[in-house]
């Protein structure tokens, strides 16, 4: 081995102990030139003996003391070339050439350090005697002695080659001087000088110097961070040394190359290079270098988490260092081997090796090494769950760091001590949990102060995150956010995406604890792609779990499950047991909320088996108890709750303690009937929730208190509690930007409004004149269709103005992707396909829809105009009576409840309330009637249909029979009643004889509303915009198939085809696509053509527009042209997606006139983008009034889309409609409206009456499906 390299490594090892989270004692992979610029020692510090005369060919050997200068005379003639060479033997020297006047002419200091040749050469202009001085590079102790030899190797008449060589040597030396400067400019100039010298040495074929220069240039590129350039030079140098068969130099360069490959994370080349270097050291028998290479290899394997191979190499290296008596290197290898043992969870062996290394460092009095090893020893004790021993080791290391004034290491150990107090479990230290948290904060603060003094930004951010976590553990979430946000700013400044992602997760988690779900979700969704891009699986798994928890908290169970199930495999693959346990717990919680108790228990027990903190165990046990409670095993639930409460109190987890107390209150209320104890538990829970600032927990506790007071007849107390709970829910709802999440959350909170109404109505029974019934009605309005009301308020505001254009571009791109993917799904499901194919495309579609929803939430959150929108107010009784009703109109508003339901009957001057049966009883009757009306086996059986209709009418209409006479009915339905056409129900209070069955339609005009408040906004919006100038636009009879007769010039005319079809069995021709399972192509709806012709014949041609055949396409509907018409009639197939309502819609032409396929699906998100300020949209298709029924919102489907687009009223269908029957009904409807000038609601009633009076169409199946929603005037 090159002894210079070896000794440099040994010297460097004395002081190079890198600080890290788990610290290796790491040596550089290659020799590094000392950055000491003291190459011109002060002569007063040196002893200069007498000079000797150098003669050609005579070598002089001498011994240089550490504080001496040796001088030699040399006589030189003008124009003569000379070269003097000093052979260094253990000392790095500098040569000076000067004249007798002490003017320095040349300086030589080759970067070969302690061994090898130090040459100086030149050509002088004047003859005379010159002085060669030999200086030690560093002044050392005077008793240190170093041997050397000096000789005048060459002295001749200078040639051109000599002159070039001198210039090359000067460039070499100049580069050597420059490279000692730290600035980049000097480094690059050094490279330029060496490249200049390199050209000459190549020309004279001095390959040894060429190889050496290439190595030096590679070193400079390394220092400049130019890894590729360094590798290129090292490889070139290595190639020459291989040709020269210089084994030691080859090994040296292989080590340098390994270091470079490590910068590129090219670990296969790192391992290969170190292994080749190892083979060469073994070849020349250099045991010390062999051991070093083994250690470098072991460090690499440890970095790759290949601990078995790492430990094998460490053990061999340790044995060689011990054999050589190299205790310092033995200590380093022991320390690093201990790191590998600790990483493989063999903490006993790790601790033993740390202790051996520590003993060596103590014997050598290496305080810095002791401090670092003590830090690592503390880590091993910490990870082996011995916090007291860890604190002893950390504090010992901290004391040494303070004595050495090593403030960087001092700060790191303060941070680690903070970690012990932060994460310690109760009972593991002789301090209480809260005191431990306070100590953690104190130590983190000390560490932070030191890092700020040192200007170490990255470490500041690390400690700020730890400090934030400690504040979070103490439920000081606002303070935690201050620390997390400071850390985030630093990581962004450092452009560290991986660390930024973790800070974003921490912030999101804090907001989640504060019940600010939307903000939490925003931060989580920002963190996720950053962690994915950085390949940080830990933060990925953690963030996916966090997103799942938010969705679970908001009641969005499917989405919660999706994210938990994405987190789980990552945690398992990478052995993140804590996150695995959290994910399993989350999945269990979802199944518990869905009522799937057995599955919930299975996942909870899996989570518990993995372990985790006692805090997590307490939460899991609490949820297990809740499942037992749901299963009716309250005694087991009570026992498990008590166990979990004890754990929660031990760990100081106030939030979990509050949840458990709340649940214990429920047990004592429902099962033990110990109301006083139950109230005590709920009040204790409420106090803890208030202390921790958890609004959702406060709302639950207040709900339970209100429910208890209701049971005890203490209605005023109950009212106080439920009003406070509702205020918390409303505040939280207002922070959620995503319409979808806001709707889902509000749906999950409907039990609060149900209880609120119940309490108010009980108070109304006690005090009928106090106005509690009016308050209850106002709460009913506040509890329904809120997202629709907000959407309508938003509709006249361009919320996209001022939004980042990239977000809007992405919105358009996603809409296109959704359209393409949904069409592909329909095509796939219409043909042969596997279950896997169907699942894959469904998953992709779900992903796109979710991304679209998230993007819309982001647009709203960043929209200046959206921020200016206030929450629209729902109507009070006074406003309903003044602004909505007239003397001939009644509002019937239903609110279905668990134990009892309520009906408010509101006239222009009066409010009456009625108590109805439970939700289950009403909805069962509603489903029976709907089935009887539409089931092909039953719908023509008048007795069956009448019986089912009567049963429902008796429940929901009989109590108000006397109020209905002569009134128009505005129906605000709830639950399954939304799927019922009230027009088909028997008039209440009359005997039923099936042949003489009189439906409500006969005496009443009926209009449906999502809520009374919705109509108020529709009217306001209509007053703010101009009236369209023309009457009606109709879209009908699209072309669905490439083999459609209309693509054939020989096709029969429409009338002939119509006659042929009219004689067929038309029962199969319905206008429904039955969700995404529609068969493509759908059947042609031939009657829609006749339907439109009849309708348009009622108005002048100039007042109408029709788009038939190929013109009945998506482009036509999306154009601005239709906005000029008061009525838009769409007669085509409808399709319903109850899972993703955004994918519901209408089918228009699927092929163009050339027979080429085109996108003909008009989906709900397309409808939202329409600008149709029209009086009415008629959807003459099937099930267009259906959608996803969401509690608190009603049916989410096409109706709300067209209202958002600007329609005042929408005519839709509640079930699949017969094509011919629809055509007949629509003809009558438009005749009454356009020819007879009836209002739309009255016209629809008149048309349906004529159908009912016609024996052919008497069944409600044919006429009752169509209902009018919206404005009735």
172 is a domain residue: no
Number of structural domains (the chain) is: 4
690 is a domain residue: no
- Domain shared by 861 and 903, yes or no: no
pLDDT of residue 739: 66
- Domain shared by 1262 and 1158, yes or no: yes
Q: Which residue among 823, 849, 868 closes a domain?
A: 868
pLDDT of residue 871: 53
Q: What is the dihedral sign for C-alpha 85, 90, 94, 97? A: negative
Q: Which residue among 149, 166, 183 closes a domain?
A: 166
- Domain shared by 953 and 1003, yes or no: yes
Residue 809 pLDDT class (50, 70, 90 cuts): confident
Per the model's pLDDT, the better-predicted residue between 796 and 707 turns out to be 707
- Give the separation between CA 961 and CA 1127, rounded to whole angstroms: 35
DSSP annotation of 1233: I
Residue 1146 pLDDT class (50, 70, 90 cuts): confident
766 is a domain residue: no
Q: Is 1173 helix (H, G, I), strand (E, B) or coil?
A: coil
Mean pLDDT of the chain: 83
Structure tokens at 947: 């019986």
- Domain shared by 996 and 1039, yes or no: no
- Domain shared by 1081 and 1144, yes or no: yes
Is 1 within 8 Å of 284 (Cβ atoms)?
Answer: yes
CATH number for the domain harbouring residue 1072: 3.40.50
- Domain shared by 1076 and 946, yes or no: no
Q: Has residue 916 got a pLDDT over 90?
A: yes
pLDDT of residue 294: 96
Per the model's pLDDT, the better-predicted residue between 939 and 109 turns out to be 939
Q: What is the dihedral sign for C-alpha 394, 395, 401, 405? A: positive
pLDDT of residue 1223: 85
691 is a domain residue: no
Q: What is the dihedral sign for C-alpha 318, 319, 324, 327? A: positive
Q: Has residue 633 got a pLDDT over 70?
A: yes
Which of 70-84, 310-324, 566-580, 1014-1028 shows the lowest mean pLDDT across its residues?
1014-1028
pLDDT of residue 429: 54
CATH number for the domain harbouring residue 88: 2.60.120.380
Q: Has residue 1257 got a pLDDT over 80?
A: yes
945 is a domain residue: yes
Which of 94-108, 636-650, 799-813, 1181-1195 shows the lowest mean pLDDT across its residues?
1181-1195
- Give the separation between CA 691 and CA 683, rounded to whole angstroms: 12
Task: Tell me the per-residue pLDDT of 38-55, one tens digit each, with 9 for 90 and over.
Answer: 344 443 344 445 678 898
Give the pLDDT mean for 103-129: 79
Sheet holding 1266-1270, edge to edge: 911-916, 901-906, 889-895, 968-972, 1006-1008, 1266-1270, 1209-1213, 1176-1179, 1125-1131, 1030-1038, 1104-1109
Residue 119 pLDDT class (50, 70, 90 cuts): confident
Q: Has residue 1196 got a pLDDT over 70?
A: no
Q: Is 122 helix (H, G, I), strand (E, B) or coil?
A: strand
pLDDT of residue 13: 24
Residue 1167 pLDDT class (50, 70, 90 cuts): confident
1190 is a domain residue: yes
Q: For 593, what's the count of Cα atoms within 13 Å in the CB-facing half-sphere? A: 18
Q: 10 Å Cβ neighbour count for 907?
A: 17
pTM for this model (two decimals): 0.62
CA 113 distance to own-chain centroid: 54
Highest mean pLDDT among 692-696, 852-856, 921-925, 1202-1206: 921-925
- Give the separation between CA 624 and CA 641, rounded to whole angstroms: 9
- Domain shared by 864 and 883, yes or no: no
Residue 802 pLDDT class (50, 70, 90 cuts): low
Per the model's pLDDT, the better-predicted residue between 423 and 884 turns out to be 884
52 is a domain residue: yes
Q: Has residue 341 got a pLDDT over 90?
A: yes
Q: Is 5 helix (H, G, I), strand (E, B) or coil?
A: helix
Task: Tell me the per-residue pLDDT of 257-267, one tens digit each, with 9 for 90 and over.
Answer: 999 999 989 99
1198 is a domain residue: yes
pLDDT of residue 98: 87
The kind and range of the H/E element at 1007 are strand 1006-1008
- Domain shared by 864 and 899, yes or no: no
Residue 1068 pLDDT class (50, 70, 90 cuts): very low
Task: Tell me the per-residue pLDDT of 961-997, one tens digit each, with 9 for 90 and over.
Answer: 999 998 999 999 888 898 899 999 999 977 666 556 7
- Domain shared by 930 and 827, yes or no: no
- Domain shared by 88 and 111, yes or no: yes
pLDDT of residue 114: 62
Task: Tell me the per-residue pLDDT of 426-449, one tens digit each, with 9 for 90 and over.
Answer: 445 545 566 788 899 999 999 999
Q: Has residue 1065 got a pLDDT over 90?
A: no
Give the pLDDT mean for 1243-1269: 91
- Domain shared by 1034 and 1155, yes or no: yes
Per the model's pLDDT, the better-predicted residue between 1042 and 113 turns out to be 1042
pLDDT of residue 36: 34
Residue 36 makes CB contacts below 8 A (sequence gap 6+) with: 137, 138, 180
pLDDT of residue 1205: 82
Structure tokens at 415: 């941070």
- Give the separation between CA 462 and CA 454, rounded to whole angstroms: 14
Q: Has residue 415 got a pLDDT over 70?
A: yes
Q: How far is CA 605 from CA 424, 517, 542, 571, 572, in A?
A: 24, 28, 20, 17, 16
Strand 104-108 to 70-76 pairing:
unpaired
Which of 530-534, 563-567, 689-693 shows the lowest mean pLDDT across its residues?
689-693
pLDDT of residue 654: 83
Task: Tell me the per-residue pLDDT of 1004-1059, one tens digit each, with 9 for 90 and over.
Answer: 999 988 888 888 877 877 777 778 899 999 999 999 888 888 887 554 444 333 33
Residue 1232 pLDDT class (50, 70, 90 cuts): very high
Task: Tell me the per-residue pLDDT of 198-239, one tens digit each, with 9 for 90 and over.
Answer: 988 898 888 988 999 999 999 999 989 999 999 999 999 999
- Domain shared by 851 and 956, yes or no: no
Is 730 exposed, middle or buried (CB count within 10 Å of its CB: 0-12, 13-18, 19+)?
middle
**Which domain covers residue 146, as residue numbers?**
42-166
Per the model's pLDDT, the better-predicted residue between 923 and 1213 turns out to be 923
pLDDT of residue 995: 57
| Percent of all residues in the chain with a pLDDT value above 90, rounded to a whole number | 46
Task: Tell me the per-residue pLDDT of 667-681, one tens digit each, with 9 for 90 and over.
Answer: 898 888 899 999 999
Question: Which residue's entry shows tokens 């962690």?
Answer: 531
Q: Which residue among 822, 841, 868 closes a domain?
A: 868
């Amino acid at each position: 081995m090159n002894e210079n390299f070896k000794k440099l490594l040994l010297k460097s090892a004395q002081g190079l102990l890198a600080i890290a989270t788990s610290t290796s004692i790491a040596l550089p992979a290659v020799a590094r030139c000392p950055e000491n610029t003291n190459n011109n020692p002060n002569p007063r510090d040196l002893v200069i003996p007498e000079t000797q005369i150098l003669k050609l060919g005579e070598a002089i050997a001498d011994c240089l003391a550490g504080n001496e200068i040796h001088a030699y005379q040399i006589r030189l003639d003008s124009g003569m070339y000379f070269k003097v060479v000093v052979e260094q033997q253990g000392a790095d020297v500098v040569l000076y050439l000067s004249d007798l006047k002490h003017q320095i002419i040349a300086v030589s200091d080759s970067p070969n350090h302690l061994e090898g040749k130090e040459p100086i050469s030149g050509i002088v202009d004047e003859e005379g005697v010159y002085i060669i001085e030999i200086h030690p590079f560093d002044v050392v102790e005077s008793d240190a002695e170093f041997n050397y030899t000096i000789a005048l190797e060459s002295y001749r008449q200078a040639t051109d080659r000599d002159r070039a060589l001198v210039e090359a040597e000067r460039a070499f030396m100049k580069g050597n001087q420059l490279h000692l400067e730290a600035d980049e400019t000097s480094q690059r100039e050094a490279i330029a000088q060496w490249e200049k010298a390199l050209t000459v040495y190549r020309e004279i074929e001095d390959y040894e110097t060429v190889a050496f220069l290439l190595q030096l240039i590679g070193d400079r590129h390394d220092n400049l961070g130019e890894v590729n350039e360094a590798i290129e030079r090292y490889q070139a140098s290595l190639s020459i040394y291989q040709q020269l068969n210089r084994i030691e130099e080859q090994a040296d360069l292989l080590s340098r190359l390994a270091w470079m490959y490590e910068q590129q994370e090219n670990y296969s080349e790192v391992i290969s290079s170190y292994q080749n270097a190892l083979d060469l050291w073994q070849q020349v028998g250099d045991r010390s270098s062999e051991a070093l290479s083994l250690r470098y290899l072991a460090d690499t394997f440890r970095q790759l988490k290949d601990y078995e191979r790492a430990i094998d190499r460490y053990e061999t290296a340790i044995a060689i260092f011990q054999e050589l008596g190299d205790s310092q290197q033995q200590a380093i290898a022991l320390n690093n081997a201990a790191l590998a043992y600790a990483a493989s969870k063999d903490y006993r062996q790790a601790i033993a090796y740390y202790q051996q290394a520590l003993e060596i460092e103590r014997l050598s009095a290496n305080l810095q090494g002791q401090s670092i090893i003590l830090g690592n020893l503390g880590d091993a004790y910490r990870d082996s769950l011995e916090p007291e021993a860890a604190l002893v080791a950390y504090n010992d290391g901290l004391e040494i760091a303070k004595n050495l004034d090593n403030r960087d290491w001092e700060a790191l150990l303060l941070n680690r001590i903070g970690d012990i107090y932060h994460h310690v479990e109760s009972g593991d230290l002789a301090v209480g949990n809260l005191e431990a948290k306070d100590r953690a904060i104190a130590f983190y603060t000390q560490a932070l102060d030191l890092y700020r003094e040192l200007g170490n930004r990255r470490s500041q951010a690390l400690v700020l995150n730890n400090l934030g976590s400690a504040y979070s553990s103490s439920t000081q979430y606002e303070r935690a956010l201050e620390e997390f946000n400071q850390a985030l700013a630093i990581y962004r400044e450092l452009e560290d995406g991986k660390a930024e992602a973790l800070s974003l997760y921490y912030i999101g988690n804090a907001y989640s604890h504060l019940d600010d779900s939307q903000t939490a979700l925003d931060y989580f969704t920002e963190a996720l792609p950053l962690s994915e891009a950085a390949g940080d699986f830990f933060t990925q798994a953690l963030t996916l779990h966090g997103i799942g928890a938010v969705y679970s908290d908001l009641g969005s169970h499917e989405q919660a499950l999706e994210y938990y199930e994405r987190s789980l495999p990552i945690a398992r693959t990478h052995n993140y047991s804590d996150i695995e346990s959290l994910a399993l717990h989350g999945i269990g919680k979802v199944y518990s909320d869905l009522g799937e108790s057995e599955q919930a228990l299975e996942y909870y027990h899996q989570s518990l088996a993995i372990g985790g903190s006692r805090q997590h165990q307490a939460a899991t046990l609490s949820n297990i108890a809740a499942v037992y409670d749901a299963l009716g095993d309250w005694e087991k639930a009570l026992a498990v709750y008590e166990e979990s409460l004890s754990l929660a109190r031990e760990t100081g987890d106030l939030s979990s303690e509050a949840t458990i107390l709340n649940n214990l209150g429920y047990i004592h209320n429902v099962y033990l009937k110990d109301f006083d104890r139950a109230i005590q538990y709920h009040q204790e829970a409420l106090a803890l929730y208030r202390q921790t600032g958890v609004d959702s927990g406060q709302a639950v506790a207040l709900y339970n208190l209100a429910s208890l007071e209701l049971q005890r007849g203490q209605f005023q107390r109950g009212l106080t509690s439920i009003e406070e709970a509702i205020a918390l829910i409303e505040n939280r709802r207002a922070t959620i930007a995503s319409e979808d999440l806001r709707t889902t959350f509000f749906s999950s909170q409907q039990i609060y409004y149900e209880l609120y109404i119940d309490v108010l109505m009980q108070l109304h029974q006690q005090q009928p004149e106090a106005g509690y019934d009016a308050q209850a009605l106002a709460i009913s309005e506040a509890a329904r269709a809120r997202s629709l009301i907000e959407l309508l308020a938003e509709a006249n505001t361009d919320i996209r103005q001022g939004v980042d254009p990239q977000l809007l571009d992405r919105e358009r791109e996603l809409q296109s992707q959704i359209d393409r993917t949904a069409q592909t799904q329909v095509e796939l499901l219409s043909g042969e396909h596997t279950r896997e194919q169907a699942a894959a495309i469904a998953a992709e579609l779900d992903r796109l829809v979710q991304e679209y929803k998230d993007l819309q939430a982001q647009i709203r959150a960043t929209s200046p105009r959206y921020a200016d929108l206030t929450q629209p107010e729902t109507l009070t009784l006074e406003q309903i009576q003044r602004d909505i009703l007239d003397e001939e109109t009644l509002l019937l508003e239903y609110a279905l409840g668990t134990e009892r339901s309520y009906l408010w009957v509101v006239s222009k001057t009066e409010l009456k309330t009625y108590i109805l049966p439970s939700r289950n009883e009403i909805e069962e009757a509603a489903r029976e009637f709907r089935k009887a009306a539409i089931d092909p086996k039953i719908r023509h059986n008048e007795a069956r249909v009448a019986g089912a209709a009567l049963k429902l009418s008796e429940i929901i209409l009989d109590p108000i029979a006397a109020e209905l006479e002569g009134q128009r009915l505005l129906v605000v339905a709830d639950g399954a009643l939304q799927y019922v056409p009230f027009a088909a129900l028997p008039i209440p209070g009359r005997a039923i004889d099936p042949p003489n069955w009189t439906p409500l339609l006969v005496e009443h005009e009926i209009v449906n509303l999502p809520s009374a408040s919705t109509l108020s906004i529709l009217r306001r919006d209509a007053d703010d915009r101009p009236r369209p100038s023309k009457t009606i636009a109709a879209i009908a009879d699209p072309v669905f198939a490439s083999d459609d007769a209309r693509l054939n010039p020989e096709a029969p005319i429409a009338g002939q085809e119509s006659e042929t079809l009219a004689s067929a069995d038309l029962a199969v021709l319905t206008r429904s696509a039955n969700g995404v399972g529609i068969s493509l192509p759908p059947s042609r709806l031939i009657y829609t053509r006749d339907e439109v012709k009849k309708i348009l014949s009622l108005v002048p041609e100039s007042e109408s527009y029709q788009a038939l055949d190929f013109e009945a396409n998506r482009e036509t509907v999306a154009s601005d042209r239709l906005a000029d018409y008061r009525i838009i009639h769409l007669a085509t197939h409808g399709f319903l997606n109850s899972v993703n309502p955004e994918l519901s819609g209408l089918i228009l032409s699927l092929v163009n006139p050339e027979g080429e396929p085109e996108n003909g699906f008009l989906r709900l998100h397309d409808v939202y983008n329409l600008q149709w300020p029209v009086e009415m949209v008629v959807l003459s298709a099937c099930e267009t009034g259906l959608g996803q029924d969401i509690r608190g919102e009603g049916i989410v489907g096409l109706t709300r889309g067209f209202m958002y687009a600007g329609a005042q009223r929408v005519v839709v269908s509640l079930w699949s409609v017969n094509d011919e029957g629809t055509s007949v009904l629509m003809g009558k409807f438009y005749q009454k409206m356009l020819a007879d000038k009836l209002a739309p609601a009255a016209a629809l009633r008149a048309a349906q009456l004529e159908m009912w009076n016609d024996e052919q169409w008497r069944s409600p199946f044919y006429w009752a499906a169509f209902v009018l929603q919206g404005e009735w005037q």
